[in-house]
Structure 1
Amino acid sequence: MTWKEIAEAFKQDPIVLIPLGSMEEHGPHSITGDFLAASEIVKQIAERTGAYYLPVIPFGYSELFRGYPGTISLSPNTLYGLLIDICESLMEHGVTKMVIFNGHTGNSPIIGQAARKIKRERGIMVASINLWQSIPMEFKKHLYGNSFNPSGHGGEPLTSVMLHLYPEDMRMDMLAGWRNQQEVPEWEGFRIHSPATVETEDIQFQVYLNMEEISRDGILGNPLAASAERGEAIVGELVRRGTALVEKFTQANTIVK
């Protein structure tokens, strides 16, 4: 769009979608750019709702994956400032409805901090959704049956999503000989729940591990449960849910002062 076209569009109080992801390892089989998935999902939502969307922000906060070549990690301050600058640039020209579609969980705390600053200082409520965590458990059970939650970094749902969206770039052959871990990984005798959390009995606490301390190949999950068919179903569900969110948020009063 030209700036003239954008100026006319902004007069209609439109909703603007901001796709955000990361560029980080997802195992030896998957391309590093999970931001591509967020971008495609947002594009499909915009096509269905008439919303406008920005070019995807390809980099995120990926500190714990920096041990793997190809990972590009922004500092928290950089990502925070980037989000503030983007939203303020939109608001300067009358945009009051913005939704961040986040394709990387590590970005979530920083998104929250930026959104609260904008609300406090500019009086605008910015919404966000974590794409992968928004997939309901019942839908996972429908897709995976008894192994209904093979989630994890380098596993599901992203491997299936990328097999659907970018099959020519995936390298499932690199998983030859790989076997899903049967034993729960440990650190100093504590069970590893996630790269940031370990547990003993029913108590969890944070230790902030790097991914290479947990898995040399960068996988904490089961990529062997993936398929392009599942990926198509996941993308379809996320687009359906995102469309409903955008349609409802379009009617919301996001001006809080």
Structure 2
Amino acid sequence: MAEPTYLQPFVLPVADVEPERDGAIDVYRPGEEAGEPLPVVVFVHGGPLPPQLRPTPREWPVFRGYGSLAAGSGAIGITIDHPLHSPADYPVAADALADAVARARELPGADRDRVALWFFSGGGLLTADWIGGAPEWLRCVAASYPVLAPLPGWEVDARFRPAEALASAGSLPILLTRAGLEDAEIADGVGAFTAQAHQRGAHLDVIDVPEGRHSFDVLDHAPASRAAVTRAMSWVLRELRA
């Protein structure tokens, strides 16, 4: 039997960092103590996912990889499990995310005024809360192969419309990493979001992975995938340190 996608290895070779578990969050720290507070990168998994799924997302190789990559780059990486088990669960998942971010900002050694949120797949709809009227401490939002509009058959609260949230995005830097071989229904939402961002003059940067599939960071072990992840992390760190 083929291994599930979520258990396949991260495309980028990184030195594994063992996280500290702090309740709802896993905390990846650089190996050496810093002399000043460190920026924070919170990684937000997708869904909906079955509630009984094990291991949970923060145990998946891809998120252990991203957390370790952040720590190896001089930031505090944060991974979480949020309860997005059906399209109706976006509000409760959003609350869990907000609680996790608040907890991360209070960690010893964390710079509470330099935070990035990085969303994946179905977690993309959760960007709407943060794009629309971002707090000053949120330095940027990144989204990799995100769902940016509800898929057919999804009954989702109207609050979770990232394209509409762009009206209040101001100068918030946003990074979109697009998979060239994305599922058509997801790609349509990404296209609509991108068009709206250009129309509104949003601060949007795009990284394209032309031959990448949805979840290219585990499915497509190729130089283009590794380069995209590396570029995205560099972009996030640049915004955090600006």
Shorter-chain TM-score category? 0.3 to 0.5
Hey, which of these two has a bigger chunk of strand by percent?
2
More helix by share: 1
Which has more radius of gyration?
1
